Chains A and B, each alone.
Chain A
Amino acid sequence: MSDKQNTIIDVNELQTSFFVDGKEVKAVDGVTFDVPSGKTLGIVGESGSGKSITSLSIMRLINNPGKIKGGEINFNGENLLDKSEAQMRKIRGNQISMIFQEPMTSLNPVFTVADQIGEAVMIHQKLSKKKAREKSLEMLKLVGIPSPEKRLDNYPHELSGGMRQRVMIAIALACRPELLIADEPTTALDVTIQAQILRLIRNLQEELGMSVILITHDLGVVAETCDYVAVMYAGKIVEYADVNTLFRDPKHPYTVGLLKSLPRHDIDMEGDLSTIKGMVPTPDNMPKGCRFAPRCPFARDMCRENLPHLEDEGDGNQVRCWIHTDQWDGPEVNVKDDYESAASKQS
């Protein structure tokens, strides 16, 4: 793992569950990662892998019937799970901010842009209404909204989707947070707007020196924006690596599967785009061993029986797979190179 001194947030064995009809659904099941200061961590995974729940857990915004069951979330060395609700409120929107997937519905329809940006600074920096308005204008300029003076008194319905996401970013960054959590910030936007918003986040990150957790299902976004990547599958991190290593030398079969299913324009593709066979397991039907085993082309009995640990690979990167351990009892495998031939033999 990376140097603890320069870590803004360190999530350790986080467990978040939902209790529905007396049954426990483990949405996040022992997630561990950290974010080096001033860097961007991408959390990648399919729908239902637990990535959004992880981010809401960091904000301590898990509502009933959900509950954070265990683990630690150390932010600047202090465990957020030990904080009172009042202490958390001082952190939210101030030191840790969050932007969401749906810019169309994430702004309150009955308040103006200035009201909504200003609210955060009025709460955390105790600014007067007039000062807060000046701050709102400054933020609108910062996020690159054209004719910001006019936009101050607009209501959300008068703005486009990309514009609203810029306003969301302005709200999130108004108090200059140390950590920004962006949960699929571009998924609901047009492709051209997506690139603009990502560039904006990237630029602001450098300008303000903040750290970013970017939740996405889009590896293209990761490649463009992130320094580190955590790949999540069925409530667990299966691989954590810096972005270059992940794309150059992916170790977990799931990561390789994800990369192979990306359309590439730089190499000639023959035939169909490859897909990962099967479906993400539902929480009530969680495999006993490795959660990816039922879909993994390399899976052996040991994978189906025992859950592998997230093991350090020595270079600060981690992978949760039996293939990369001494206990591996199968033939030698190079996951990246052998994936396709193994996958084609999969029934």
Chain B
Amino acid sequence: MFVYIVRRLMQTIPVVIGVTILVFSMMHLVPGNPAQIIAGESASPTQVAQMEERLGLNDPLPVQYFSYVGNAVTGDLGNSIRSGNAVTDEIFSRLPVTIELALYSTFLSIFIGLIAGVISATKRYTFTDAAIMIVALFGLSMPNFWLGLMLVQYFSLPPLQWFPVTGWGTPQHIVLPVLTLGTAGAAIIARMTRSSMLDVINQDYIRTARAKGVKERIIIYKHALRNALIPVVTVVGLQFGVLLGGTVIIEQVFAINGLGRLVIEAISARDFPVVQGSVLVIALMFVLVNLLVDLSYRFLNKRIELD
């Protein structure tokens, strides 16, 4: 197991190198001179030249790349053009909110999705099954910014006013954004769980369990669900990864100061170091989540050989 983790970590190295090259290239691929942008529109050519020198833009590209990576490894991703603060500080002040949001939303979608999927599968072709699947289809098809706005409309504005419209910090703040983000995930997980369970329920070993005299509830939750989880875990991992980098719209709708909002602000302010840094961090988190998903396969099903 340990050997596998190390090997799997090694495998992520090329991915991470690829990510840094892409992120590094951003600086040079966008139109305009970064030094000009950083120095400001009104800067004199001398000031721009000084800035170029300071940013090392006159060095050969490989030298620039290695100095970028070298700095990144020590946690130095440059400074924000807007605020002048270290990019790492900017990111890590925003990251916890986004991670919290992604975690809660994922938990909610797992909880609703698994229960709905299992019920749907055990009651297949009944009214309950059809109802759950139709609701899931709605959940999947609703654009989440729209759902967010609707939730605000009905639950945050008069007459109900149950939850605050915007912001983050108290449990009341969490409810609507998490509900908004969790819905689509719950729908996907419910559909995945259903089809996976239906597949497993027809397997020979389920018949063996029945022939042993095992109770139906235990057959479903112990014998079948554990086997049905593998495709579900894959989907959960992907969802979580997407949420980590992709809560942009919802953070905007609910005015939550998370990573997504930081990226948007940085892009509109042409704050390249912050954009670069955020993309790098999001990509690294995605790699990490995928690693965790792979490790969980082994935990769920011993047939999957790791070494």
Contact indicator B204/A106 (Cβ below 8 Å):
yes
CB proximity of A166 to chain B, nearest CB, Å? 14
A256 nearest CB across to chain B (Å): 35
Q: With A100-B204, A105-B205, A106-B205 given, is the CB distance from A92 to B210 under 8 Å?
A: yes
The reply on B302 being an interface residue by CB < 8 A is yes
> Which residues on B sit within 8 Å (CB–CB) of A205?
none
Question: How far, in Å, is B28 (CB) from chain A's closest CB?
Answer: 50
| Minimum CB distance partner of B211 in chain A | A98
Q: How many residues on chain A are close to B (CB under 8 Å)?
A: 28
Residues of chain B within 8 A (CB-CB) of A91 are 213
Residue in B204, B213, B227, B300 whose Cβ sees the most chain A Cβ within 10 Å: B213
Contact residue among A106, A124, A157 (Cβ-Cβ distance under 8 Å from B302): A157
**Residues of chain B with a CB closer than 8 A to A172's CB:** 211
A100-B204, A100-B207, A102-B204 are contacts. A109–B212 as well, Cβ < 8 Å?
Answer: no
Find chain A residues with CB under 8 A from B211 CB: 59, 61, 92-93, 97-98, 100, 172
Task: Let me know if A108 is at the binding interface, CB within 8 A.
Answer: yes
Interface: A168 (CB within 8 A): yes
Number of interface residues of B (CB under 8 A): 19
Q: Is the CB of A123 within 8 A of B208?
A: no
Bound complex: CA A97 to CA B215 (Å): 15
The residue of chain B having its C-beta at the shortest distance from the C-beta of A115 within the complex is B222
Binding site of B, secondary structure by majority: helix, strand, loop or mixed?
A: helix
Q: Is the CB of A155 within 8 A of B302?
A: yes
CB pair B302–A108 under 8 Å, yes or no, is no
Contact A94 B213 (CB under 8 A): yes
* Chain A residue nearest in CB terms to B210: A61
A89 partner residues in chain B, CB cutoff 8 A? 213-215
Say yes or no: A155 contacts B204, CB within 8 Å. Answer: no
Q: For the complex, what is the distance from the CA of A110 to the CA of B296, rounded to whole Å?
A: 13
In the complex, which residues of chain A have a beta carbon less than 8 angstroms from the beta carbon of B301?
109-110
B300 A92 Cβ-Cβ under 8 A: no
* Residues of A near any B CB (own CB < 8 A): 59, 61, 89-94, 97-98, 100, 102, 105-111, 119-120, 123-124, 155, 157, 168, 171-172
